[in-house]
Every structure is written in structure tokens, then in C-alpha cells.
Amino acid sequence: MRDGQRRVRLVALVVSVLALALAAPGDAAVKPRLVLVLPFDASALPADDRWMGEGVAQIISLGLAQHSAFNQLDPTRLPGLGHADVWGPQLVLQTTRNVRADAAIFGEITRKGGELTIRPRLHEIKGTGADTMALEPITVPDGELLARLASMPVAYARTMKVTLTDAEAARMEKAARPTRSLKAFELFSLAQSAARHGGQEAYERAADLLARAVETDANFVVAQYTLGTVHQALGNRWKAAAQFRASTQLDPNYPEPYKALGDLFLAQPRRLFDQAIEAYGKAIDLRPFLADAHVGLGDAKAAKGDTDGAIVAYQKALGLNPVNPRVHMSLGKIYYSEKGLYYEAVNAYRKAIDFDPTSVEARMGLGEVYEDKGLYKEAIEEYRKVVELDGKHTGAMYNLAVVYERVDPKEAMAQWEKYIALASQLPSEKDWVDVARQHLRKLKSQIKD
């Protein structure tokens, strides 16, 4: 297993303590709900105004992120579920069930004369059924869009019966006013809409739009940070880090860039654990219920050998968001790489995949467990799914060729050739390509004989 050979060994965790971590309620004052925020249906608007559907969703998302009652589904998962130009009620309900969200926020926007009318709606899943609610429509005269949208996150929170203090409501409304420039917000919304599609071309378009948004309003902190996430998706680590740092300089109290810097530090070839721990800690100080920051902190501490610290971080993450696929994936690594607990590892990886079927890392982990246990058919299935999700995933292609050597040498030759054709173009894969060529020569020799 190539990725397994590269993986840093984690310090052993006591199984009973991990089980406790899975059940722990965390420090959240209220039970968090997984919420899916979708672009509003703006298809009735002129083409130049349809960006507003995405814009409304972004405002609501920014506001809800300020309260511990809401965990929002990562929008990057939506391309794996199929992209929709219009999110109608039936599609919203189906998608909400598919991602196991507790609620979905959507709606529609229409125009009559010089006024927009926004009709917010909410699906709440109730067991096998669902409640659909229509919130009070919002009338928006021309030129007042940003001002009128700021009240929407609070309206949704109260509709979901979340009790808000005056300070919490004020914080949500402040976050829902990310810029005073309507043009900058339009460019930002168009970029977010492009990024929802995923892929190189979409991210490049998003990067261009976000750069223009920042030029229009240099104090647009969210746009600065989002430009960093797009650079990161494009593989431009240095540009991403520069944007994240620019965001922290503009607003030292904005936690997302610190969490993103932690991810970058953890993914560096030199694995900058201390810097990652510091960045995650800063994000958590600013927003204690930022679940992904706790996950990252757990990963960094586990990799560094701080077992107790990793347990605490994972415990808090699961208490805040028990359906976070990244936590279950991390637990899968711990169960198998250190404790050798096959069934526990498989269950953890399966939970991660269940919550995020597009997670290539979880599927790689599960494939490695199957491969190590001699379950080659199952391993092949997982590695093939990774390649389907990411046609340039050299790790999955390499592992797939290795497994096929055990069951089908001719197919293994074909897989080695595919891997070599792709990986030989990448300097970082040079040593692995040399090994692959040795495998291929050996197989050809054996079949010839």
C-alpha cells in the first residue's frame, strides 16, 4: 500500500476512550443541526440578475455560521450529488435526505417593477416525513438588497426555534453584511456559483471573479479568504496562504482563515505540526464551535504524538458535529494503523463515506484496510471509485495495479501502464514511477515465460 507506506504512524489510543469520544456531547449549548443552504431560485429574473439566487444563500450561510446551533454542509459536496440550475422543492427534499441533513434552506426571487420579492422557505426533516415552511416574504426596493438581506439568517434561526440573545442576533446580522459594495458582492456570488461546479475550469473562473471582487472592495474579508480557498483547490499553496494571511490582517477576529492555514501547515511536505496546532487553536479561540478546526487540531496532535490532546479534540468535534466525515476518517486511521482493529476501522471509514460519498481519502483508507486483509475484490472496488472521483489520483492508480497483480496479472499490466503514463509527468512521482516500471517488466517477463 503506497499511501500506507507514507503515512505517519499515530500513537495508540485506548479503544474504550475512543468509544467515549464518539458518544460525548461536547460543549455546545444546543444540539447542532446539519443544515443545507441552497441557492434561491432566481430563474424568473433577467439573466444579469440571476446571481442574486446564490447571493441570498451566501448571506444566510455567513450569518448562520455565527451560531453553534448550525452545522452547514460543505458546498463542495454538491457536485457529487449533481448540480442543479434550479433548486425546486422536490429536488431540495431529495437532496436533503441524500446528505442526511436535518434541514434545508431555499426559496425563490421574483421582480415586479422596481422591487424584488424574496420568498424564503425551509424544509425540516421529521423522522420519515418533512415539514415545509414559508417564511415572511421580503420586499427589496432597488439599491437596498444588501441591507434587506442581513435580517434573513436571524429569521431562519428563529423559525427553527433557536433562542437568540441580542448579542447573537447582532453578530449574525453583522456577518450577513460582508461588504457595502453591491458590485463586489455580485462578483463574489458569481464566483461561489462557479465554484459549486468544481473542477479546474470552474475554479479558475472563480479565482478571476474573486480577484475582481477584492479589487472592487479591498476590505471584503470573506472574498479575500474565499480566494484563498480557490487557490488551494487549484493547488496554489503559496497564493492560498497569502490570501488567508491577508484575511487575518483585515479582520483578526475572523476564524476561517486560521483554520485554513492550519490545514495548509498540516499538508506541507515538512508537516509543520506546531504551526498547524497554533493556527487551529486560534480559530477555536475565536469560534469554539468550529468543528472542522477541532478535527484539524486532533489530526495535528495525533500526528505529533499527543494522544490525550487528540482524544479531546476529536471528542469536541464529534460533540459539535457527529456526522462530520473527516472525524470518522481520522478515527479509521487510528483504529487500524496503530491498534490493528479491522472491524472498527472499516466501520469508521464506512461512516465517513456514508456521510460523504465523494471522500477519496476515506475510500483510500478503506481500500488499504481491505488490501491488507487480502480482500482484493473489495479493495479494487474502493480504489476504482477513487479513480472515478479523481481521474488523476496517482495513489489509487498505483494501489489498484498492486492489487491486480494478486488476482489478474494482465489487468495489472494495463493498470501499471495507465499509472506510468500519468505519473511520469509529475516530478514528485519519479521514484514511484521507477518502481512501477520494475513491476511492469517483471509481469511482462512472467507472462512471456
- Taking alpha carbons only, the member of 189, 196, 191 closest to residue 81 is 196
- Per the CB < 8 A criterion, the answer to whether 307 and 15 are in contact is no
Separation of alpha carbons 398 and 367, rounded Å: 12
Separation of alpha carbons 133 and 5, rounded Å: 52
What pLDDT is stored for residue 123 in this prediction?
92
What pLDDT is stored for residue 428 in this prediction?
86
Average pLDDT, the chain: 87
Residue 273 makes CB contacts below 8 A (sequence gap 6+) with 265, 266, 300, 303, 304
First-to-last alpha carbon distance for the chain, in angstroms, is 27
Asked if residue 108 belongs to a domain, the reply is: yes
What pLDDT is stored for residue 97 in this prediction?
82
Collapse the DSSP code of 287 into the 3-class scheme (helix H, G, I; strand E, B; otherwise coil) and give the result: coil
pLDDT tens for residues 17-52? 443 344 444 333 467 888 999 999 999 999 999 999
Could you write out the DSSP letters of every residue in 159-194?
HTT----HHHHHHHHHHT---S-HHHHHHHHHHHHH
Beta bridge partners of 107: 120
What pLDDT is stored for residue 319 in this prediction?
84
Q: Global pTM? A: 0.78
CATH of the domain at 39: 3.40.50.10070
Asked if residue 430 belongs to a domain, the reply is: no
Asked if residue 60 belongs to a domain, the reply is: yes
Separation of alpha carbons 219 and 190, rounded Å: 18
Report the number of distinct structural domains present in the chain.
1
Asked if residue 162 belongs to a domain, the reply is: yes
Residue 93 makes CB contacts below 8 A (sequence gap 6+) with 104, 123, 130, 132
Separation of alpha carbons 302 and 323, rounded Å: 21
What pLDDT is stored for residue 366 in this prediction?
96
Asked if residue 118 belongs to a domain, the reply is: yes
Asked if residue 154 belongs to a domain, the reply is: yes
What pLDDT is stored for residue 93 in this prediction?
83
What pLDDT is stored for residue 444 in this prediction?
85
Asked if residue 38 belongs to a domain, the reply is: yes
Asked if residue 132 belongs to a domain, the reply is: yes
Residue 397 makes CB contacts below 8 A (sequence gap 6+) with 383, 387, 415, 418, 419, 422, 423
What pLDDT is stored for residue 438 in this prediction?
93
Beta bridge partners of 37: 105
- Taking alpha carbons only, the member of 217, 155, 150, 156 closest to residue 186 is 217
Instruction: Tell me which residues of the chain have a pLDDT lower than 50.
Output: 4-29
What pLDDT is stored for residue 2 in this prediction?
59
Q: Which residue range(s) make up the domain with 49?
A: 29-177
